[in-house]
Amino acid sequence: MKVKSLIIGTTSLVLFPLTMKAQFYTIMREKEIKITNNTATKKKAVRGSHEEYFYAYQDSMKSVKASTKEDDYLIDFFSTTEGHEISIEKDVPVFVNVKDSLLFGLIKQRMDVCLPLDFISVTSKYGYRKDPFKKCSAFHDGIDLECNMKHVYSMLPGRVLKVVYSKKGYGNHVILDYGHIQCLYGHLSVIAVRQGDEVYAGTIVGISGSTGRSTGPHLHIKISSNGKSLNPAPFIAYLNKYITSLRDKIAYVRFGTKPPKELNINNLYQILDKYGILYPKIVVAQALLETGYFTSNVCLNYNNLFGLRRPSDGSYYRFNNWEESVKAYRDYVQYKYKGGDYFGFLNRIGYASDPNYLSKVRSISNSL
């Protein structure tokens, strides 16, 4: 059997056979029939209903979960969207079991959504702010995300409404039509699509930059509906939560386990609290210093946040996930603490050989 490889957003998910003989036995061709609306309506339905599909699909999957019939998992929401009967030829997998059908449904949902960047950090919010050029209060019609020469992805399936090359305003930018909403990506250094192109969630539409009216490299995102701008932050936050939920569900269906939380400062605080770590701000500062803000080789490959080593040979501990290294910090380091100044404790046990280690940790801790 050939291995099936599916592209999910920016991640390639390879589906290997588990205990069953195959993911599915065969592919049947099936056609939806009838086009009842006139030409203008049909074009509008195809071009302008991606967001309707997005939410309709969620609703259809909710009903799927309550169903006990395996065939119900093959519902194609495109053919059941009210008011638009569109001719669609589609591949319908004939599944071996319910587990496979559940996995297919979850993966299909995941393929319909993507975050705009691999890493999301908002540097300027939506609304009134001090204009960086005029130095007075002005309305900011979107949000700015930190990035420099990074891939920019379409968040939903849609169509490229407009491509603009300019040295003013938004600079080089694209406008994507998602149906009831439009999305503008501004200040791009490279544009990888053309006007009229159909795009999927995860399609690379460009590379970020600093073209136009910009003080430095970043991505400007503007969401609008009926000519009015909307705050993109809640929309992106919803997508992030939705994607995280789907990732967890896929892990449960495939492996029966939940993946560890994403490594960031907020989640690190939560896990420190879970394991009863004392002086969490100082410990977070230690992790940031030890890992170079979660970028070191020991962090990425060993899941070791604190540079913990084996006393026998000095080699680094390897953990299955970063949460395990927090528990190890408690069991191998903090169990020795009996009270008093924590910096003094770290100094007494000789936690680090760098004579400036504690002053660096104190500085980072004060900035948190």
Q: 224 with 148, same domain?
A: yes
Q: What is the pLDDT of residues 200-259, one digit of tens each?
A: 999 999 999 999 999 999 999 999 999 999 999 999 999 988 887 887 787 777 666 666
What residues are paired with 182 via a beta bridge? 177, 224
257: in domain: no
The domain of 75 spans 4-110
DSSP category for residue 142? S
Q: 187 with 275, same domain?
A: no
pLDDT at 263: 87
244: in domain: no
Integer Cα distance of 117 and 155 in angstroms: 9
Please, what is the end-to-end C-alpha distance for the chain in angstroms? 52
Q: 141 with 223, same domain?
A: yes
Integer Cα distance of 310 and 329 in angstroms: 13
Q: 220 with 312, same domain?
A: no
Q: Which phi and psi angles does 63 have, rounded to 5°?
A: -70, -30
Q: 307 with 329, same domain?
A: yes
115: in domain: no
| Beta-strand relationship, 218-225 and 228-230 | antiparallel
185, 173 Cβ separation under 8 angstroms: yes
Integer Cα distance of 331 and 76 in angstroms: 52
| CATH number, domain with residue 337 | 1.10.530.10
SS (H, E, C) 123-148: EECCEEEECCCCCCEEEECCEEEECC
Q: What is the pLDDT of residues 266-280, one digit of tens each?
A: 889 999 999 999 999
Q: 195 with 216, same domain?
A: yes
117: in domain: no
Q: 224 with 277, same domain?
A: no
300: in domain: yes
Of the residues 55, 87, 110, which one is the last residue of a structural domain?
Answer: 110
Q: Which phi and psi angles does 175 have, rounded to 5°?
A: -120, 125
Of the residues 110, 135, 166, which one is the last residue of a structural domain?
Answer: 110
DSSP category for residue 18? -
Q: What is the pLDDT of residues 173-207, one digit of tens each?
A: 999 999 999 999 999 999 999 999 999 999 999 99
304: in domain: yes
DSSP 261-281: PP-SHHHHHHHHHHTT-SSHH
Residue whose tokens read 């009838």: 34
Q: 200 with 271, same domain?
A: no
Q: 92 with 144, same domain?
A: no
252: in domain: no
Integer Cα distance of 128 and 136 in angstroms: 10
CB neighbour list of residue 131: distance below 8 Å, 6 or more residues apart: 137, 138
> Is 80 exceeded by the pLDDT of residue 2?
no
In the chain, the number of structural domains is 3
Of the residues 85, 110, 135, which one is the last residue of a structural domain?
Answer: 110
DSSP category for residue 195? T
Q: What is the pLDDT of residues 95-146, one digit of tens each?
A: 445 566 677 777 778 788 999 998 888 999 999 988 888 888 999 999 999 9
